[in-house]
């Protein structure tokens, strides 16, 4: 799989994200294994002052799991322009190893606010999760997005960009084994001028707050890409199934993390 290293993050985004991380630590106190910027910034569709989606993984002290009242495994909070959604390690790893593309994408994001050796280990496991078996999840997300786009008569450039990204991401993954999230990079990699031109046009319309007028060309492109993703799934180079030991590796890592974090309080 392709793996982009951590990239430079705009100062405003990094500062706001760090403040949100500090709020999470203050409110909940949990150890953060990683916190990465996702959403529009990762997809290549962010505006200068747009909201910031921060996604990540935390781990609770092992003793907390032995109490009657179990800790929350998903925590969401807002801090200014930042929307946080963090999952506990067990939930995150469980869903990731089942091929959930959202979780794979979140841990592989190169926009890293909190990075740790555990996060690097998780990224390696995420690559092992990718296979043609993730097709149902990718296709499901594209169908869901397309239904919303249809309700808007394909006039909403933001929605159209998300639909375009889902299909291009699937094609790149299943055809070439390349994992990419940025719609502009995906369009250029695909190599058809019509796709690049439509992507640039939609980004410009989104930034200007205008709708897509004539939608016939976009509809045709989507139909073409849907067929291409089906072909990529059948004939592409990506492995058919996840690595045989991916679940075992994830479970061993989680067990190690739990054992390292045992701190049983003494009786009074």
User: Which pLDDT value is given to residue 4?
Assistant: 57
Segments forming the whole domain that contains residue 110: 11-126+246-260
Whether 70 and 113 map to the same domain: the answer is: yes
pLDDT in tens, 217-226: 999 999 999 9
Residue 143 placed within a domain: yes
Whether 17 and 109 map to the same domain: the answer is: yes
End-to-end CA distance of the chain: 52
Mean pLDDT within 168-196: 95
Whether 147 and 110 map to the same domain: the answer is: no
State the pLDDT confidence band at 143, using cuts at 50, 70 and 90. very high
Whether 104 and 145 map to the same domain: the answer is: no
Whether 71 and 169 map to the same domain: the answer is: no
Mean pLDDT within 160-171: 97
By mean pLDDT, which of 6-10, 76-80, 98-102 is the weakest?
A: 6-10
Whether 114 and 27 map to the same domain: the answer is: yes
Residue 256 placed within a domain: yes
User: Which pLDDT value is given to residue 47?
Assistant: 85
User: Which pLDDT value is given to residue 1?
Assistant: 44
Whether 110 and 204 map to the same domain: the answer is: no
Percent of the chain with pLDDT over 90: 91
Residue 145 placed within a domain: yes
Mean pLDDT within 68-90: 96
Number of domains in the chain: 2
Residue 93 placed within a domain: yes
Q: DSSP readout, the chain?
A: ---PPP----HHHHHHHHHHHHHHHHHH-PEEEEEEEEHHHHHT---TT--EEEEEEEE--GGGGGSSSPPPSEEEEEETTEEEEEEEHHHHHHHHHTT-HHHHHHHH-S-EEE--HHHHHHHHHHHHH-SGGGHHHHHHHHHHHHHHHHHTTT--HHHHHHHHHHHHHHHHHHHH------HHHHHHHHT-HHHHHHHHHHHHHHHHT---S--HHHHHHHHHHHHHHHHHHHHSSS-SS--TTHHHHHHHHHHHHHHHT--PPPP-
User: Which pLDDT value is given to residue 229?
Assistant: 97
Whether 110 and 196 map to the same domain: the answer is: no
Whether 56 and 153 map to the same domain: the answer is: no
User: Which pLDDT value is given to residue 263?
Assistant: 79
Q: In this structure, what CATH number is given to the domain that contains residue 78?
A: 3.30.460.10
Mean pLDDT within 148-162: 96
């Amino acid at each position: 799989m392709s793996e982009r290293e951590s990239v430079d993050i705009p100062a405003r985004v990094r500062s706001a994200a760090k403040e949100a991380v500090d709020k999470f630590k203050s409110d909940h106190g949990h150890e953060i294994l990683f916190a990465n910027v996702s959403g529009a910034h990762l997809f290549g569709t962010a505006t200068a002052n747009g909201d910031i989606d921060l996604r990540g993984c935390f781990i609770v002290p092992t003793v907390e799991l032995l109490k009657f009242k179990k800790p929350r495994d998903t925590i969401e909070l807002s801090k200014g322009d930042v929307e946080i959604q963090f999952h506990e390690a067990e939930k995150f790893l469980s869903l990731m190893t089942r091929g959930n593309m959202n979780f794979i994408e979140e841990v592989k994001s190169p926009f890293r606010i909190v990075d740790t050796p555990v996060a690097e280990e998780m990224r390696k496991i995420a690559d092992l999760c990718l296979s043609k078996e993730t097709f149902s999840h990718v296709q499901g997300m594209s169908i869901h997005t397309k239904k919303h786009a249809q309700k808007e008569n394909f006039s909403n450039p933001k929605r159209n960009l998300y639909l375009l990204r889902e299909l291009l991401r699937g094609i790149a993954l299943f055809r070439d084994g390349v994992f990419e999230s940025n719609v502009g990079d995906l369009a250029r990699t695909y190599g058809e001028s019509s796709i690049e031109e439509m992507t640039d046009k939609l980004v410009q319309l989104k930034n200007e707050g205008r709708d897509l007028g004539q939608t016939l060309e976009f509809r045709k492109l989507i139909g073409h890409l849907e067929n291409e993703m089906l072909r990529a799934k059948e004939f592409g180079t990506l492995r058919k199934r996840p690595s045989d030991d991916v679940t075992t590796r994830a479970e061993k890592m989680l067990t190690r993390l739990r054992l390292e974090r045992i701190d049983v309080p003494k009786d009074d």
